[in-house]
Amino acid sequence: MTNSKNLVSADWLSQHLDDDYVKVIDGSWYLPQQSRDAIAEYKAGHIPGAVFFDLDKNSDHASDLPHMMPSAEDFAEAIGALGISNSDHVVVYDGLGFMSAPRIWWMFKTFGHDKVSVLDGGMPAWTAINGPVEDKVPAVTATHYQAVLNADCVSIRSEILAYTQKGGRQIVDARSAERFSGRAPEPREGLQSGHMPTAKNIPFQKLVGRNGLFESGSKLQQVFEDAGIDLSRPIVTSCGSGVTAAILTLGLRELGHEDTKLYDGSWAEWASHPDTSDKIIR
C-alpha cells in the first residue's frame, strides 16, 4: 500500500514509531456478540507507546444513543489527558483491522485535527510484519489540547429525514446486506432491521481487500459506483450506530470526496425514534 493522507502502512509506522511527533492510539472497540474485551487485549499487548482511547467512555453520556459524539470540550480533555497535542501526527489502529479506528480518525478530523491517519490493516497488519508489542501501559504527561467542532461533518436525524423526502445528499449504509434488507435482525435488542428510504448499501467489508488492507484507486471507486453512488454528488454515511459508517467516509476521502457527512445517530436512532421508526424499507 502507498501511504496516503488518511492511511499509513505498518512498515511506515515501524520506521516512525520512535518519532516524537507520532502518537499511536489503540482505538479497539467490539460489538457485544464478538465477545472480546478491548481494554483487556490492550493491556495484554499493544503497539509500543500506544495509548488506549475508550470509544464508549468518550461519548455524549447525555444521549441514550450509543457512543454519540462528545462535546469539543470533553474530547479535548480526553485527548490532552492522553498526552497528545494538536501538532502531533496521530495514528489510530484497532484489533480487527478496520472496525472502530476509522471512527476515531473521523472524530479527530471533525474536531479539527488534520494530521491523523488509520493504520492500514490495524493490529493484524502490524503482527504480519512481526511488529513489536508490549504490555506496559505507557506513562503520559497530560498536555493542552484544543478541539473545535466542524458541524459540517455531522448529520442529524432531521437532515436525513429531509434527504429521504426531498433528495439532496445520497445516503449510503455500511451495515450488512442482510440487515439492510431486513432479512437479519439488528444486534441491538428491540430495533427493527431494514433501511431508510432512498439509502444505498455498501457493507463496509467491501472496502477491505483479501489481504486485510484498504482498497485503493479504481477498485475503491468501483465499489461505490457498483452500489449506485454518484461520486460527483454530496453523500452522507450511516451504519448501525455511527462507527463503521466512518469506514465509508474514509473510503470517500481516499477518493477525494470531501462533501461527505456522517449520520452520528445512524440506524440506532432512525429505527427507535418515533418520527422515523415507521419509515423503514424492507
Per-residue pLDDT tens digits of the chain, which is 282 residues long: 457 889 999 999 999 999 999 999 999 999 888 999 999 999 999 999 999 999 999 999 999 999 999 999 999 999 999 999 999 999 999 999 999 999 999 999 999 999 999 999 999 999 999 999 999 999 999 999 999 999 999 999 999 999 999 999 999 999 999 999 999 999 988 899 999 999 999 999 999 999 999 999 999 999 999 999 999 999 999 999 999 999 999 999 999 999 999 999 999 999 999 999 999 999
* pTM, to two decimals: 0.97
What span, in angstroms and rounded, lies between the C-alpha atoms of 250 and 243? 12
The answer to whether residues 185 and 261 belong to one domain is yes
- 15 and 118 housed in the same domain: yes
**Residue 239 annotated among the catalytic residues of the structure:** yes
Do 37 and 144 lie in a common domain? yes
| Catalytic residue selected from 101, 174, 239, 252 | 239
User: Could you tell me if 125 and 119 are in contact, meaning their C-beta atoms sit under 8 angstroms apart?
Assistant: yes
Pick from 149, 174, 194: which residue ends a domain?
149
CA dist., res. 277 & res. 264, Å (int): 16
Residues 130 and 163 placed together within one structural domain of the fold: no
Last residue of a domain, one of 124, 149, 174: 149
Of the chain, the end-to-end C-alpha distance in Å amounts to 38
Residue 19 lies inside a defined structural domain of this protein: yes
- In the chain, the number of structural domains is 2
87 and 180 belong to one structural domain: no
Domain holding 259, by residue range, is 152-270
3-state SS assignment for residue 154 = strand
- What CATH code is carried by the domain that includes residue 83? 3.40.250.10
215 and 226 in a common domain: yes
Same domain, 119 and 133: yes
